[in-house]
Structure 1
Amino acid sequence: MTATRLQLPQQKKQRYWLKAFLLGVSVSFLFFLPFLLYDNGLFLYYGDFNVQQISFYQMIHDSILNGNIGWSHTTDLGANMVGSYSFYLLGSPFFWLTLPFPSEAVPYLMAPLLILKTGCAALTAYIYLRRYVHNKNIAVIGAMLYAFSGFATYNIFFNHFHEAMVMFPLLLAAVDEYMETHRRGVLAMAVFGACLVNYYFFVGMAIFIVIYWFVRMFANSYKIKLKDFLILVFEVVLGFLGTAVLLIPSVLVVSQNNRVGNTLNGWAGLVYNNPQRYVHILESFFFPPDIPAYPNFTPDSNAKWGSVAGWLPVFSMTGVIAFMQTKNRKHWLKKLLPMLFLIAFVPILNSVFQLFNSQYYARWFYMLILMMCLTTVKSLEDIKVDWKRAVLWSTGITVAIAVGIGFMPNQKTDDAGVTTTSYGVMSYAGTFWAYVLIALISLGILILLLRLLKKDRKKFVKASICCICAVTVVYAVCFIALGKMRGYNSHDYLIPHVINQEDKINLPETDNVRSDFYGCMDNSAMFWQLPSIQAFHSIVPESIMEFYPTIGVQRDVGSRPEVSVYGLRSFTSTRWLFDYTGDSNSFVETDGKNKMPGWTLYDTQNDFNIYENQSYIPMGFTYDSYISEDDYNSCLESRRHLLLLKAMVLSDEQMEKYSDITQGKTDDFKSFVYTENEYYNDCQARKQLTCSSFAYDNDGFSAEITTDNTGDRLVFFSVPYEDGWSAQVNGEDVDIERVNVGFMAVRVPANTTSEIRFNYKTPGLTAGIIITVSCILIFASYMWIWGLRKNKEIKARKKTYRIGNRQTVSTIKAAEQDMDMIKAVNQEDKGNLDKNSTGDSDDEITRTPM
């Protein structure tokens, strides 16, 4: 008897994953398009985006193409490139896509990369959400809500945050995949990718995953045997260690940052110091986000850059409220979501996602938002959901917040004692009411969509996607436009004078001296890739963080020394100063004097007045006097920038080590005079014996100095001290001394010309490479062994299939094909449910093709 295989009708498969990706790309293109047209193909925003994201991308792009991956002498006074830029871009695959393009094209790639990131966020969100719904179009809706959430739009300002939004759904999907199928390798790769892309966000992801996993375990949604649990731990550790190539250098730098050790304590860990922050957190889930740095709903919430944004376009919190009101109290999401919202409102719990740092951020909200999207799509598939009640709650809270903030009486008394009463406690009334209008119109649209949901599910899906697209474009355009109004005028300043305009500057020497920028946009020097004392960068060497406060300069997220510390300029070999002529900030006082002594106008180029420091000291100079660290600390803080031009600061051990050079010259500091004339004299004295040549290169820098017969000297370089430096003088290794509160010096012999060479190797990079390569080899072996075992099991199963008693045949392949066809039909049936079908379930994960 001949067996006939059942022929099933072929049905067209929809590529829902592609649909989610293309929707993410196309909609984001639409809301970026007006601004691309306005700025001639560039996307220029304001704040951090303009001054950090664009300049960092272009500068590091050029450094890598030039073969420099070690020391960046154009970052502040100098910085470890891997440690300083792994947080911003080095782990991002989107950054590496810029390398085939020329330097001039990089600023033009910022918007296309953001568009691509948005599409990828929608794609990865779909990959996660599709497991929990029968109708995959509903998962597409959830993916759009995630990709176009308030958090995503808010963090256009922080370009590198979107990588975390892309990776997190993949990490969750990998956890689900392992817990369901015990499939090998997927979890290790997901952990590797998430940590490599951004170690800071990975910390938050890891903590969230632990909470997520335990909640599901206690809710009996996950089950696992000890053997499988040990394999899970192995894959997580393997994936994590695989990122050592970036992780170790980054940790070594970040652990030295003085911002890391600030933790919450006392009542500050239990209650926010700013009461408005509670309202800010609450309203962020019901309204489009305020733009960074300009909070509108809650002006005094002190969360200007906190990424407090959680609004879902059209749906707002309605889907979440609807899900929480269903009767299935045992569902793991009903345990997880309240826990996450509680975390958001308790300072010490909120800080756990950044290892208890005291600085307030809600940068983990994208993870909460994905859970909100999941509850929303599950609500859409459940016919038992009471949407009317959910809409009433969502609308009521929205209106209550709008009325409370918009109409609250606000009395103010001026200096003359006159009291006036206004209504509304927001900062910008026009913007506030525009946001209220968007939120209420969205809820009105949702009411109409929910009526359609009951009548025709297919039309509901199409209408929902269209409405989400429309609302997203409107609110995103408004959001970006509000931000652009706060930034530098792109057509008056950025485009004609800054971006790709370095060729308009023609000076005798710029690469091996430092420059200063007076009253200019942050990181202007980085756009032209000039060494500078001005920098807006959070992750720099410890020695910079240690040095600046000693001379009265605040160093938190940037180096912005005031003109009052004019001695710093000569101390750091700053030769040029740029003063933009198109603004009101002038380097010249009203009486015609310059704001720092010793500077003269050299030329006007590119609409910048360029001043030259007549007291400029070349890199690599020597001292005749030496003081101890205690003596330095005893000097008035306001005078220390001048003291550093008089004497080298050494530790007691160094004083003893170099006693033949210092010769006890430590008592003169009490007689030092700090006047403008003395400043000129000190600079001239330092110029008497300096390096005749100095040049940076990819491995460090070289210098040459000719000493006199008065004795050996310590040659000082205003380059930040780090453990990765090594030095040679005339080809022989020498000790590098940490002097002048964080900089470097080496000993050179008397009465000779010495070749000085400093080489830099990124601390931890070699060990990181070894660990990463080892993990890759272990992973490959692990997958190979698992593959062999799997093939062996398949072959064993094939032998059990026999037809009659005559022969053994390999029918397992056909059986597998049949099962695949049956599964496909089942999935098509689920995807083509009757318009009133519910998809009401399900704690169990349903694996379906994309």
Structure 2
Amino acid sequence: MINLSTTKLEETSIPGGRWRRFPAPLMMFLTGFLIYVIAVLPILVINHGLFFLYGDYNVQQVPFYMLAHRAVRNGEFFWNWNLDLGGTLIGDLSFYLMGSPFFWLTIPFPESAVPYLMPFLMALKYATCATTAYLYFRTYKIKDLSARIGGFLYAFSGFNGCNIVFNHFTDAVAFFPLLLLTFDSLMELDTGEEASPISHGYTRWLRFTLCVSLLAIINYYFFFGMVVFLLLYAVIRYARGRSLRTLLSMIVRALSGGIIGVLIAALFLMLALSGIAGNTRLENVVLGYDMIVYPSALMYLDILKSMVMVSDIIGKGTILYDATVKNASLAVFLPFFGLSGVLSFFRAYQGRKNWIKTLLWTCLLIALVPVLNSVFSLFNSWYYARWYFMPILFMALVTVREFEKEDLTNFRTGTLISTLLFTLMLVIYCLPTRDESGKIVFFQISENKDYFIRNAIATACMYVGLILLCLLVRSRKRRLRIGLLLTCLSSLAATMIMLINGMSLVNHYGMQMWKQQMLDSKPDTLDPNVFYRVETEGSATNYEMVWGMPTIHCFLSTVPAEIFNFYSGTIGFTRTVESNPPLRGEGLRAILSEKYYLWNHIISSDGEYGKGMGTYGFTEIQRDTGETEELVNQARDRKHGFRYFENKNFIPMGFVFRQYIYESEFDKLDKNQTDRALVKALILPDDTPKKYTEKMIHAGASDMTAITSDDEFDEECRNRAATSCTSFRTIHEKRISIKTDSGKEKTFSSYGGGFQATTSNLENRSLVYFSVPNLAGWKVYVDGREGTVLTADYGMMAVDVPKGIHEITALYQPPYLRAGLVASLSGILFAILYGVFCKVEKKRERGTR
């Protein structure tokens, strides 16, 4: 193992005999798994084995898992019709789960088992966190019990607890210690007086390289943050006191391993990043005063609070809460210890140089300066604290290092200060405020009073236990054993409280309806032979993913840029994390081929559709018209609480416009007045060749704002529907045959998915419009011959088709698949060749001795 004599915290090898006799990593894994399962057990019992939380977990994590699980088992790895208006499985979901090894464990199980497996997958993630952190800590000169305590502190920190709602975050946290472990092992080759030959240490280099590949695949966002942190870590830890030759050797080893690691992962990365290229969320960078100071002074106190008491849950702060941190994952707290060990460490090394002290102070500075904090998110203007798990690892390390000392003078001081800081939070909670009537009241400053009280009671019990342990137990061995037990109990309590806080946001009836409506049923397929999209309101977000129904309502951040551009360009709707266009957009819904609106009248009884304020043209389907009210209600019950509204202006996929307008002209119009005109004219880029529009009429500004009457709008929709394709089907098979205009058949590979359509009898050469995002990678064939696809309506597809009836086949082929495959194979080949070179060099060296 690592043995670096240049650090204040020296590393040493694991005691071999005890390691062999007692499989500590296995025990860490099993204990971490058990603690989380016990924490979640009350929820599983209440919900009959189903884990139900709140927010993003219910409407993102579960639907994403089920959609991806179904797609993978069906062999559909690329184009998916149920991701917003359409997207790529890897591109849209790689941030969430496609690179997660834990997701792939669900594939052998049936789809119905996935929601029941998810809490146990999270338990596996927690267990992995504890085990990898333990293995990393054992490279330092600390006792085995201390390393175990540290492993649980890292795994059950406030960061992991508050991010249970963001199921995918824990994947990155689980494997981060391995990156440092393999990096340190690689750097050890050059920590002597002279740098080792480049042919030495191939096994260590390969481990680091493969670890880089793994983390790059698991989550590209967190991987970027890890690279930034690793650069910081390497400079602070290894740059000081090295010769230029040694530094160059270190840089070459690390840089080559990192580059080859990324190359090996290139196939996955290129597929993942190509799906979100141009995403407008990436363009929002921090600027101006926001670079140097947070918008609210409360932020700084909130950062402190996150370190000294049980963490708030995502989106529901208690005291010192600011809207900026709503989804920021601002949480640090180490169960049982808080800041006690960290403050003790700073006191112990006061006035003395130590690389970990420098690293932690640097991380604190970064956390307090917005522009530095944003580096981990590529300077995004949204505030995120999603990199905190990396310094938390070192906070856990110094905590157990201080806790295991014979002399606890500094540790007792640290415990006292941490307790006083927690007491400060209690004082803030008691501060007087004015109620709505202007009367001065106490204990009302917290936004979520019950959550704060639970958090405070649990934290107080932990500090009391820590103080008693430090004062009453003199034996170090006994102190560590009791400390390990209390750490496990505190980890259990902190996690359970955060789960209870989260679960309390949704009542048992809501859980039952979520299970019944999303998991156990699917709305009627009213037109099985027609492709159409549906829409649900907010209480049924992403249910369509589970049902397998195309939709225009989608809560997913990582969708193609074409979807962002489409909404922004056509109706001025700024999409951020969700596609939920305003209900006023009947024109938008018509060109998107939306046929049904599903109103969840049980959960959202006061919804717009219930008030008669829904989208124009949608009327409720009364299957039991003329029957008694009782029979009508029974029919609604069979729909599990959903009432269906049909769009009388539904336009099937693949239709033709008579008029067109250029983007620069459309951009000058008031988007509040042009929605209905979307069914009247096709919006084309200014550089569209004239040959594609010579049979169309150039619309003016007056034409685009002229539709004011319902009758005129209805007529335009009927005109578009009359030109729509007579058939449209999505492609799911791996190879398809296309009949050419000469009557022969051509066979094409369709592994990426796509669609086939038969046009109506077109009077002229036309641009046939499909509301499908026009991503790079689409290939279109008209009667078996490769055709031309244009971008229309700022991001959708328009296919150039001759006069008459024609067969259109659109196949999606991932644009960077071959390039990614070549890059990955090149990385693997280089790693193999380097191994051969090292082996040959070793034989040569032995031969010259």
| TM-score, with structure 1 as normaliser | 0.88
Which residue of the partner structure matches residue 499 of structure 1? Answer: 519
| Selected match of 1:536 from 528, 533, 555 | 555
**Whole-angstrom CA distance in 2 between matches of 1:393 and 1:544:** 51
Distance 1:107 1:665, change over 3 A: same
Q: Deviations over 1:632-682 (max 9, x none)?
A: 223321232211101111233326232432254557716732222222111
Q: Indicate yes or no: 2:373 matched with 1:350.
A: yes
**Whole-angstrom CA distance in 1 between matches of 2:328 and 2:611:** 43
* Paired residue type of 1:645: V
Distance 1:222 1:215, change over 3 A: farther
| Selected match of 2:811 from 759, 763, 772 | 759
SS at 1:314 equivalent: coil
| Selected match of 2:402 from 379, 382, 385 | 379
CA displacement at 1:252 relative to structure 2 = 3.1
Q: Indicate yes or no: 2:545 matched with 1:545.
A: no
Q: Indicate yes or no: 2:387 matched with 1:364.
A: yes
| Selected match of 1:731 from 772, 778, 784 | 784
SS at 2:205 equivalent: coil
Which residue of the partner structure matches residue 776 of structure 1? Answer: 828
RMSD between superposed Cα atoms in Å: 2.3
Which residue of the partner structure matches residue 602 of structure 2? Answer: 582
| Selected match of 1:152 from 153, 157, 160 | 160
Which residue of the partner structure matches residue 479 of structure 1? Answer: 498
* Paired residue type of 1:379: E
* Paired residue type of 1:720: P
- 1:205-284 to structure 2, matched below 5 A, reads 205-220=226-241, 224-284=246-306
CA displacement at 1:406 relative to structure 2 = 1.4
SS at 2:209 equivalent: helix
CA displacement at 1:500 relative to structure 2 = 3.9
Q: Residue 221 of structure 1 contacts residue 332 of structure 1 at CA under 8 Å; is this kept in 2?
A: no
* Paired residue type of 1:295: G
**Whole-angstrom CA distance in 2 between matches of 1:341 and 1:671:** 55
Which residue of the partner structure matches residue 448 of structure 2? Answer: 428
* Paired residue type of 1:561: P
Which residue of the partner structure matches residue 620 of structure 2? Answer: 600
Which residue of the partner structure matches residue 746 of structure 1? Answer: 799
Q: Residue 542 of structure 2 contacts residue 555 of structure 2 at CA under 8 Å; is this kept in 1?
A: yes
Which residue of the partner structure matches residue 198 of structure 2? Answer: none
Q: Residue 658 of structure 2 contacts residue 697 of structure 2 at CA under 8 Å; is this kept in 1?
A: no
CA displacement at 1:203 relative to structure 2 = 0.8
| Selected match of 2:578 from 536, 554, 558 | 558
Which residue of the partner structure matches residue 701 of structure 1? Answer: 755
Distance 1:588 1:16, change over 3 A: closer
Which residue of the partner structure matches residue 398 of structure 1? Answer: 422
**Whole-angstrom CA distance in 1 between matches of 2:622 and 2:176:** 53
Distance 1:795 1:98, change over 3 A: farther
Q: Deviations over 1:785-832 (max 9, x none)?
A: 3244446656877xxxxxxxxxxxxxxxxxxxxxxxxxxxxxxxxxxx
| Selected match of 2:169 from 161, 171, 186 | 161
* Paired residue type of 2:412: K
Q: Residue 622 of structure 1 contacts residue 713 of structure 1 at CA under 8 Å; is this kept in 2?
A: yes
CA displacement at 1:475 relative to structure 2 = 2.3
Distance 1:670 1:188, change over 3 A: closer
- 1:816-827 to structure 2, matched below 5 A, reads none
Unaligned runs of 5+ in 1: 1-7, 798-850
- 1:11-90 to structure 2, matched below 5 A, reads 13-90=21-98
**Whole-angstrom CA distance in 2 between matches of 1:368 and 1:291:** 20
Bigger Cα displacement from structure 2, 144-153 vs 601-610: 601-610
SS at 1:133 equivalent: coil
Distance 1:365 1:665, change over 3 A: closer
Q: Residue 82 of structure 1 contacts residue 762 of structure 1 at CA under 8 Å; is this kept in 2?
A: no
**Whole-angstrom CA distance in 1 between matches of 2:704 and 2:61:** 47
Which residue of the partner structure matches residue 648 of structure 2? Answer: 614
Distance 1:120 1:702, change over 3 A: same
Distance 1:131 1:432, change over 3 A: same
Q: Residue 413 of structure 1 contacts residue 420 of structure 1 at CA under 8 Å; is this kept in 2?
A: no
Distance 1:212 1:622, change over 3 A: same
Q: Indicate yes or no: 2:530 matched with 1:514.
A: no
Distance 1:274 1:702, change over 3 A: same
Q: Indicate yes or no: 2:710 matched with 1:676.
A: yes
SS at 2:771 equivalent: strand
**Whole-angstrom CA distance in 1 between matches of 2:568 and 2:104:** 36
**Whole-angstrom CA distance in 1 between matches of 2:529 and 2:486:** 54
Bigger Cα displacement from structure 2, 765-774 vs 775-784: 775-784
**Whole-angstrom CA distance in 1 between matches of 2:537 and 2:606:** 8
Q: Residue 283 of structure 1 contacts residue 401 of structure 1 at CA under 8 Å; is this kept in 2?
A: yes
SS at 2:433 equivalent: strand
Q: Indicate yes or no: 2:357 matched with 1:337.
A: no
Distance 1:291 1:571, change over 3 A: same
Q: Deviations over 1:204-250 (max 9, x none)?
A: 11111111111112455999353343122211111122211121233
* Paired residue type of 2:48: N
CA displacement at 1:419 relative to structure 2 = 4.2
Which residue of the partner structure matches residue 461 of structure 1? Answer: 480
**Whole-angstrom CA distance in 2 between matches of 1:670 and 1:219:** 67
* Paired residue type of 1:401: M
* Paired residue type of 2:284: N
SS at 2:165 equivalent: coil
Q: Residue 316 of structure 2 contacts residue 448 of structure 2 at CA under 8 Å; is this kept in 1?
A: no
* Paired residue type of 1:237: I
CA displacement at 1:24 relative to structure 2 = 0.8
Task: Compare CA radii of gyration and give the structure with the larger one.
Answer: 1
Q: Residue 149 of structure 1 contacts residue 313 of structure 1 at CA under 8 Å; is this kept in 2?
A: yes
Distance 1:652 1:254, change over 3 A: closer
* Paired residue type of 2:114: V
SS at 1:545 equivalent: helix
CA displacement at 1:106 relative to structure 2 = 1.3
| TM-score, with structure 2 as normaliser | 0.88
Q: Deviations over 1:225-283 (max 9, x none)?
A: 53343122211111122211121233334340111122222221111011111111010
CA displacement at 1:381 relative to structure 2 = 3.2
* Paired residue type of 2:72: I
CA displacement at 1:589 relative to structure 2 = 5.6
* Paired residue type of 1:704: T
**Whole-angstrom CA distance in 2 between matches of 1:576 and 1:125:** 51
**Whole-angstrom CA distance in 1 between matches of 2:518 and 2:266:** 36
**Whole-angstrom CA distance in 1 between matches of 2:458 and 2:843:** 57
* Paired residue type of 1:732: R
CA displacement at 1:474 relative to structure 2 = 2.1
Which structure ranks higher in relative contact order (CA pairs < 8 Å, sequence separation ≥ 6)? 1
Q: Residue 777 of structure 2 contacts residue 812 of structure 2 at CA under 8 Å; is this kept in 1?
A: yes
**Whole-angstrom CA distance in 2 between matches of 1:79 and 1:353:** 27
SS at 1:295 equivalent: coil
Which residue of the partner structure matches residue 724 of structure 2? Answer: 690
Distance 1:384 1:566, change over 3 A: same
Q: Deviations over 1:301-325 (max 9, x none)?
A: 5201111000000011101111111
Q: Residue 717 of structure 1 contacts residue 745 of structure 1 at CA under 8 Å; is this kept in 2?
A: yes
Distance 1:188 1:515, change over 3 A: same
Distance 1:511 1:201, change over 3 A: farther
